[in-house]
Structure 1
Amino acid sequence: MSAYKHILIGLDLSPESQQVVERVKSLFHNSDCQLSLVHVQEPLSFAYGGDIPMDLTEVQYQLEEQAKQRLAVIGKDLGVPIESQHVIIGQPAQEMHRFANDNHVDLIVVGSHGRHGISLILGSTATGVLHGSQCDVLAVRV
């Protein structure tokens, strides 16, 4: 039995996400805790800063649908029902904090690339999730 009741698994859906999934499976496979999968996409308007004079709504929608399909595959692997798989548009660390607080999450699991130097100074999603989280955070080195 796990000491955790609700675990948020934050995935960027990169190939390294599978390492996070495998770690969750190894740690919590016989657990009765609730799992939620979350992928946060930054709005394309943030990424391009309004520099592209076109409507990116359809592209954003297509990216969101692709993310939902990828989460569904991971959800099936982990036994996470579709209603516990979430694609959220926003800033990753902030949205994971919000989701965790709103849904009584007591552990957030994210991948960490172990960056050093300038990348560490600029920050990463894992660092952003760790700082400001009101629950435990497990950073899986990928």
Structure 2
Amino acid sequence: MTEIINYTHIIVGLDLSEDCPPVIQRAAAIARACNAKLTLAHVLEPLAFAYGGDMPVDLSGVQEQQVQKAEADLAQLAKTTNYPIMQQHVLVGQPAAELHYLAEQESADLIVVGSHGRKGFALLLGSTPNSVLHGATCDVLAVLVKKQTGEA
């Protein structure tokens, strides 16, 4: 007999791209079906990592500006669904590790992320959805995001 999973708290990991609304909609549909809490999260990589950590410049102000912009962008994305968003988090760190930590802290039982379905060399290098999958202590759903090929 197959056990039916009833998720109680879903975290949606977003990259703040134009591909996010379909990912949110899929997560909201699952949340609605399960009557689950829905949380949105975005992870910024620390500027020290992005610039190699060798710059003798205080980047804390720039990082704070990035966090504020990400918070505003996340709030806008939250409006793309009529399902209630319980929480919105902007975290700084390595995306997979931060999503794993947030899921554990919030007792989430599903992490939803978007995936562009990379193949070949790009897949070998790894991607955020692949990184989230490995090491997660809960289910992970990668929503395939299809690129628009132009208008007819």
- Please report the TM-score for the alignment, with normalisation by the length of structure 1: 0.90
Alignment counterpart, residue 22 of structure 1, candidates 10, 16, 25: 25
Choose 21-30 or 121-130, whichever is displaced more: 21-30
Q: Which has the higher contact order (CA 8 A, sep 6+)?
A: 1
Q: For 1:135, which of 118, 135, 138 is the aligned residue? A: 138
Task: Report deviation, 1:32.
Answer: 2.0
Q: In structure 1, what is the equivalent of residue 89 of structure 2?
A: 86
Secondary structure in 1 aligned to 2:53?
coil
The Cα shift of 1:117 comes to 1.6
Q: What is the match of residue 44 of structure 1?
A: 47
Long gaps (5+) in structure 1? none
Does structure 1 residue 125 correspond to structure 2 residue 116? no
Amino acid at match of 2:61: E
Residue 80 of structure 1 aligns to which amino acid in structure 2? Answer: I
> Which stretch has the larger CA shift, 85-94 or 16-25?
16-25
Query: Following superposition, which runs of at least 4 residues in structure 1 exceed 4 angstroms of deviation?
Result: none
Number of residue pairs matched by the alignment: 139
- Identity across the alignment (%): 50
User: Which amino acid in structure 1 is aligned with residue 126 of structure 2?
Assistant: G
Q: How does 1:103-114 map to 2 (within 5 A)?
A: 103-114=106-117
- Equivalent residue of 2:66, what SS? helix
* 8 A contact 2:7–2:31 mirrored in 1: no
Bigger Cα Rg: 2
Normalising by structure 2, we get a TM-score of 0.84
1:72 aligns with 2:62: no
Q: Does 1:34 align with 2:43?
A: no
Secondary structure of 1:77's partner? coil
